[in-house]
Amino acid sequence: MASGFATEHGDRTGETIILLHGGNIANWMWAPQVERLAGRHLLTPDVVGFGARSAEHWPGVDGAAAFPALTAAMPQTRTRIAPKMRHVWSIQDADLFTRAIVDFVDRGVTPAG
């Protein structure tokens, strides 16, 4: 079922930030970050099998192998994969999570842990 939440936010200027949600949720989980990161270009796609793409077959965790290939194909891309971060953190403490995004994008600082 479509969530109705946009997949692109802000003007296409500056660096684009792509926020990928975790399982059992959809791109709407990023609403607090979209609000707090106003003025930046953000992409919040639905991952296959969730949200507007729920009718598509979810390939499982092995499907995540596409992320290293995507990064290799775009060497100009800085990637931060945060395996210990849980979507609950982004929802429960949206300000802290947003600051972590800004620290990485603007200063190259990654959260400890």
State pLDDT tens for residues 6-49: 889 999 888 888 887 777 788 888 898 899 999 988 888 888 78
Q: Write down the pLDDT at residue 102.
A: 82
- Domains of the chain, residue spans: 8-56+78-107
31's tokens: 């609403």
The DSSP symbol for 53 reads G
Which pTM was predicted?
0.69
DSSP E strand boundaries for the chain: 8-9, 16-18, 41-43
Alpha-carbon separation of residue 95 from 89, 90, 113 (angstroms):
10, 8, 19
Separation CA 84–CA 80 (nearest Å): 12
Q: Write down the pLDDT at residue 35.
A: 92
Q: Write down the pLDDT at residue 1.
A: 42
